[in-house]
Structure 1
């Protein structure tokens, strides 16, 4: 790394206010207490991966550009989807280092860091730590990057972290919602062509749209976010995405509609944008997950008399 980049990969010190902590759900709080009890107990027999990860984080802190890439690759060779490894990264200050790497100018290091963050943010305690360290604001800035891979990974990480109210508020106040809506703007050719016929560049664009949809699905639990999506022109884009042949994308889009259909403005839009027929078509697709979310979306929109009449024809 350059001298500037070395300075960036330092430990951040961020104080979390009591009011922010109160926003967490009781379910997350109980799981965090259980994790703390287990891993702070000196009698706990920790596996070798725990100590290996701590060594790798030391290399991340002190390494140059090449050493950083190697250390990030080595991290991914460990079972970082397991709780003990996720908490090992947190305990030794690895989260701060990974987030600071996102502020450097090296795209390879950023991608490597995001690939780790995307996996470990599945742990409730880790994602709260990411939010408290200012990680969400940093992730939002990555949407300005020309790299499609960076944008896709950043949005998928936000989708994991935004599982609690405080995180959703941070993303909204950071201006992340309109930027995520922009990621849904995909050419119709990409939406209609099967995956095997897409070029590498088109597949990247599809991955970006999928990441954006996943993030908005998590964020759309908040009423203010639903309004932000509407104001950013998200309804028209959702209507276009409903015509896609890509099932994974359809499931995420249906999840957003499922969340937003509780609002009257969205129920009217479902009718005005011609989404009714798409909802009915997808309800008969041979994919259980898609059918479930489609059914929930129709259920949420049940207050619209026009929609119900349309579906019953």
Structure 2
């Protein structure tokens, strides 16, 4: 590894990163330091292999930190200027994408003006490069400052344009990037004007579950930050039926993302009435027997929100959603507790649901949560217990006068 022969170095590095069992060795052998050093080599072949090695290894947090520690982020950002060598560009953008998973690295990329350079690569690039560029932007725009930079550099239009593509990996990355950008109301106005939300919605029909889930996650911030979200959603002909039908998916990530989207859709009363007509209640109830905490959390939120219409509270009881929800309170995840307590509070407005909850031992589980430091959880738990208590007192009064 101390050799100065660039051709030999390039060949060896190229061989190493293709072999998975060496990835651990790369980290332990202090080889990251050498990979970083050779990013500044005058051999593009060697630069490419070193960037590729970082791309493959930087899924790992320790590697991402080592790349930063050894000063590897600046040369990576600098290499974005080598736009003629597409293989090198693909390796470099891949390395930046994976390194950007760590927030500290994103801060450095911001300093080195990498975001602006990435935006300039959103057009006229091979798909291999685009997948990585958009992946990197998706990670970088978790930070507010970078969401503004993308807009100011004219990145919104090319990003939205990429929603019409067919490459699965590219679609997963671009939906994530558009969704992250939509957190900014100014960006959301542009996305809406460019018909981006409609394009996201149409990706729910994509045959790949990863694309469906990524599109549904992206739809959530779009609804949250749109001017008139209810009207926007209604304007998509068949859109509400489409999203409700995705609750029949077998894929847990699709189900969680669709539940999150339904929670947002249901904030509008008119749209909640429409999804109720499309059978959202029995479909949500059918999912209740799950051990997946991510799904539990978003499902409980969706149930809570859907209770706000008509006789949906009663319908959730009739379709057997209540008892499984009580079991969610035994999860170790606090966010599951919070969402579930809110759902149970809403459901407890119906006497029959109170009886089911009581029979399933909900009071003991909720009592411990009344003392929670999380105010939302505390209030929901107390409210649910109060409703059960009120019903018990009314029953006794009726019985004994």
Q: TM-score range by the shorter chain?
A: 0.7 to 0.9
Alpha-carbon distance in 1 for matches of 2:234, 2:189: 18
Q: Across the two proteins, how many residue pairs are aligned to each other?
A: 249
Comparing 103-112 with 228-237, which one deviates more in the overlay?
228-237
Alpha-carbon distance in 1 for matches of 2:74, 2:173: 23
Give 5+ residue unaligned stretches, structure 2.
1-25, 278-401
Give TM-score, length-normalised by structure 2. Answer: 0.58
1:265, distance to aligned residue in structure 2 (A) = 3.0
1:209 aligned to which of 163, 171, 179: 171
Name the counterpart of 2:236.
273
User: In the alignment, is residue 226 of structure 1 matched against residue 188 of structure 2?
Assistant: yes
Alpha-carbon distance in 2 for matches of 1:279, 1:74: 40
2:96 aligned to which of 114, 117, 120: 117
User: In the alignment, is residue 81 of structure 1 matched against residue 59 of structure 2?
Assistant: yes
Structure with bigger RCO (C-alpha 8 Å, 6+ apart): 1
Name the counterpart of 2:131.
152
1:72, distance to aligned residue in structure 2 (A) = 2.5
Name the counterpart of 2:79.
101
Alpha-carbon distance in 2 for matches of 1:289, 1:59: 39
Q: Tell me if structure 2 keeps the 8 A contact 1:50–1:84.
A: no
Alpha-carbon distance in 2 for matches of 1:63, 1:227: 45
Q: Alpha carbons of 1:248 and 1:133: their partners in 2 closer, same or farther (altered >3 Å)?
A: same
Alpha-carbon distance in 2 for matches of 1:308, 1:84: 45
1:311 aligned to which of 275, 284, 301: 275
Alpha-carbon distance in 1 for matches of 2:70, 2:142: 24
Q: Tell me if structure 2 keeps the 8 A contact 1:279–1:294.
A: yes
User: In the alignment, is residue 128 of structure 1 matched against residue 107 of structure 2?
Assistant: yes
Q: Tell me if structure 2 keeps the 8 A contact 1:247–1:290.
A: yes
1:48, distance to aligned residue in structure 2 (A) = 6.2
Comparing 47-56 with 108-117, which one deviates more in the overlay?
47-56
Alpha-carbon distance in 1 for matches of 2:112, 2:102: 16
Alpha-carbon distance in 1 for matches of 2:29, 2:71: 13
Comparing 215-224 with 242-251, which one deviates more in the overlay?
215-224
Q: Alpha carbons of 1:285 and 1:48: their partners in 2 closer, same or farther (altered >3 Å)?
A: closer
- Greater CA radius of gyration, 1 or 2? 2
Q: Tell me if structure 1 keeps the 8 A contact 2:52–2:92.
A: no
Alpha-carbon distance in 2 for matches of 1:259, 1:50: 43
- SS of equivalent to 2:138: helix
- SS of equivalent to 2:205: coil
Alpha-carbon distance in 1 for matches of 2:121, 2:27: 34
Q: Tell me if structure 2 keeps the 8 A contact 1:59–1:71.
A: yes
User: In the alignment, is residue 91 of structure 1 matched against residue 43 of structure 2?
Assistant: no
Q: Tell me if structure 2 keeps the 8 A contact 1:50–1:88.
A: no
Q: Tell me if structure 2 keeps the 8 A contact 1:258–1:294.
A: no
Name the counterpart of 2:122.
143
Q: Tell me if structure 2 keeps the 8 A contact 1:49–1:85.
A: no
Give 5+ residue unaligned stretches, structure 1.
1-46, 191-204
1:225, distance to aligned residue in structure 2 (A) = 1.8
Comparing 105-114 with 261-270, which one deviates more in the overlay?
261-270
Q: Alpha carbons of 1:118 and 1:304: their partners in 2 closer, same or farther (altered >3 Å)?
A: same
Q: CA RMSD in A?
A: 2.0
Q: Tell me if structure 1 keeps the 8 A contact 2:27–2:63.
A: no
Alpha-carbon distance in 1 for matches of 2:102, 2:27: 20
Alpha-carbon distance in 2 for matches of 1:50, 1:260: 45
Alpha-carbon distance in 1 for matches of 2:29, 2:163: 39
Name the counterpart of 1:6.
none
Name the counterpart of 2:200.
238
Q: Tell me if structure 1 keeps the 8 A contact 2:118–2:133.
A: yes
Q: Alpha carbons of 1:234 and 1:65: their partners in 2 closer, same or farther (altered >3 Å)?
A: same
